[in-house]
Structure 1
């Protein structure tokens, strides 16, 4: 009887299959430009060496063995990034109203959004804050007010929740990731528009799904003023918003060499910009945006008069 396959160690939260579309060269393995917003110089890195963390989607089972079921689920989904519809979306002018295409892209966008380690770190901080707040002498409240209604609390599950291990919290995170169809449906209900460039100008980051709102805070996907940017390739960026009065499923010409979109993607990064070209050139174009910064939100969002 063969032994159980060794669990995946290196887990990529930005799929390698996605980043290959932004590769800086044709080498094997492919490489990509990377620039940190913390320190250091721009560098060309192998794609298999970026946006990666050991055992990020792996937990230890009751038998003491590492379980990488979640990583293998992602691997199955990531096959879409090599599919013919995705490849056509990267460079062509495909029909964005196709329900098959929209469902694929919405699911990929939702998964890329929820699998980011920033979400897990946030859930750990929230858990720790609850434990610290309610483990003192005052204990748990007997009820909370939700929407003006008093809701009685059941304390029976609190001891187990309070002592949850990192693996326990990961399993909760996995459950959320595996039910991200709700997020995908929200994306499907938005207006879709593609910003297109003849030249490879767009970047992506270690947090590729960028949410925009006029007050620069996340107000929820369904907020009427929320819009979403998802870089598809160096020549295509998908924009989703709630401007249903504007044309749906249209293509729009990139403005300012794509610098306005690149600035928003770069600002949203956890730490790293990923680019097919030298990040110094990208940053120089962003710095040249001074004249449009006051109206950047409107500059980025596609409008009917600009269709191509």
Structure 2
């Protein structure tokens, strides 16, 4: 009888195959520069040692065994980062109107957005707040208002919900992760442009999908002023927005040594910037331009 394979323990929420595109070398065990927004010390780390958490996408079943089906789903999808199409997108000029390309990139971006552990913590916090709010003698309400409509609630599942374990909450989170096609559809509907650099300048982070809004708050993907930044490689960054009166599927030359985009990516990071070059040099570029009048004017009125 063959032994049951050991479930995956180390789960990467930023895929290694994606991060290898930003690595400082191309060895069998590539390293990448990492800078924390807490310690400020830059370090070279192996790609397999960053953006990783034990058992992030595994749960324990009724027999006490780890189930890593969710991790395997992600692993299959991550193979797209090693595809010829993705590699060409990283360095070449592609027809961004190609529906196959758009669907692939939209799905990868949507998955990277929803699988981030920050969303798990947010889901757990909402659960905690909801249970605390409605654990009194009156119990949960009979109905709630969603988008102006009253929705009746079923009370029979309340004990199971209120007593949910860590693994129960993860299973519910996995269901949300596996419906990220809705997010991908929203990305597909946006206007696309790629900012291209002749030399490697762009960085990424432990939260690669960056949302930008004039209010400096997340207002929803469909908000007409929402923009999305997704670093593809050190020479390519995908920019998505709702300005459909502007040209679609265009390439634009990078300015300011990539500092404007790198600033946005760095500010959006949970903790770490990842780069092919010393992050202190990246920060120096940002600081050099951040106070300049030309830089500020570009941030306010730039149109890709």
Query: Into which bin does the TM-score normalised by the smaller protein fall?
Result: over 0.9
Alignment counterpart, residue 296 of structure 1, candidates 277, 289, 299? 299
Contact (CA 8 Å) 1:214, 1:297: kept in 2 or not? Answer: no
1:204-234 per-position Cα deviation (integer Å, ceiling 9, x unaligned): 0000000000110000000000010000000
- Is the alpha carbon distance of 1:151 and 1:100 closer, same or farther for their aligned partners in structure 2, counting shifts above 3 Å? closer
Distance 2:44 2:148 in 1: 55
- Is the alpha carbon distance of 1:26 and 1:8 closer, same or farther for their aligned partners in structure 2, counting shifts above 3 Å? same
Question: What secondary structure does 1:183 align onto?
Answer: helix
Residue matched to 1:53: 53
Residue matched to 1:20: 20
- Is the alpha carbon distance of 1:146 and 1:14 closer, same or farther for their aligned partners in structure 2, counting shifts above 3 Å? closer
C-alpha displacement at 1:293, in angstroms? 3.2
Distance 1:10 1:260 in 2: 33
C-alpha displacement at 1:68, in angstroms? 0.5
Residue matched to 1:32: 32
C-alpha displacement at 1:153, in angstroms? 2.6
User: Does structure 1 residue 42 correspond to structure 2 residue 42?
Assistant: yes
Q: Which moved more, 1:285-294 or 1:14-23?
A: 285-294
C-alpha displacement at 1:145, in angstroms? 3.2
Distance 2:207 2:214 in 1: 20
Residue matched to 1:226: 226
C-alpha displacement at 1:179, in angstroms? 1.0
- Is the alpha carbon distance of 1:148 and 1:27 closer, same or farther for their aligned partners in structure 2, counting shifts above 3 Å? closer
Gaps of 5+ in 1: 303-308
Residue matched to 2:98: 98
Distance 1:2 1:242 in 2: 53
Distance 1:72 1:212 in 2: 31
C-alpha displacement at 1:267, in angstroms? 0.2
User: Does structure 1 residue 203 correspond to structure 2 residue 203?
Assistant: yes
C-alpha displacement at 1:146, in angstroms? 3.6
Residue matched to 1:191: 191
Distance 2:64 2:174 in 1: 19
C-alpha displacement at 1:186, in angstroms? 0.4
Gaps of 5+ in 2: none
- Give me the TM-score of the superposition, normalised by structure 1: 0.95
Distance 1:145 1:10 in 2: 40
1:3-49 per-position Cα deviation (integer Å, ceiling 9, x unaligned): 21000000000000000000011232000000000114100100000
Contact (CA 8 Å) 1:110, 1:183: kept in 2 or not? Answer: yes
Distance 1:57 1:110 in 2: 17
Question: What secondary structure does 1:224 align onto?
Answer: coil
Contact (CA 8 Å) 1:229, 1:239: kept in 2 or not? Answer: yes
Residue matched to 1:67: 67
Residue matched to 1:284: 284
Distance 2:297 2:216 in 1: 13
C-alpha displacement at 1:255, in angstroms? 1.1
- Is the alpha carbon distance of 1:78 and 1:151 closer, same or farther for their aligned partners in structure 2, counting shifts above 3 Å? closer
Distance 1:72 1:297 in 2: 43
Which 4+ runs in 1 deviate beyond 3 A?
Answer: 145-152
Q: CA RMSD in A?
A: 1.2
